[in-house]
Amino acid sequence: MSTNERNYPAPVINLETAPFWAAANEGVFLLKRCETCGEVHFYPRAVCPHCLSLKTQWFKASGKASIYSFSVMRRVEIPYVIAYVSLSEGVTVLSNIVDADIDQIAINDKVEVTFRRSESGQFLPVFRPENYAQSIDS
């Protein structure tokens, strides 16, 4: 985490979400898929929100997404971007956009998952521009 980055609050972890957070600490972004209806869902929960089945399974997400909507928080000590990102798996996630010029972010920008440490030490999934690795090598 850069010194010019805000602190991230610690998430609330419970029995249903513990595997998600454990995977995040390993740099893996998990989603759940229902074995009954086939729908992917986020936020992690034991019961499918689409058909109420208890047959849900964790799977590793691609981490690829596009920005659906965003807002720049400027009235804080360290400005940041909160955004809804639409994952390639078909669900939309509320997260932060990092490693980007906040004045250049746009709807439909391609982003990918990365992780930041929260105040408790737990890693959180956040998203950065898809071409981030290429831009820092230039």
pLDDT digits (tens, 9 = 90+) for 23-64: 999 999 999 999 999 999 999 999 999 999 999 999 999 999
The pLDDT of residue 1 is 42
pLDDT digits (tens, 9 = 90+) for 99-120: 999 999 999 999 999 999 999 9
| pTM: predicted TM-score of the whole model, two decimal places | 0.89
Q: Does residue 138 register a pLDDT over 50? A: no
Domains of the chain: 18-137 (2.40.50.840)
Q: Which residue has the tokens 């609330």?
A: 12
CA distance 100 to 64: 16
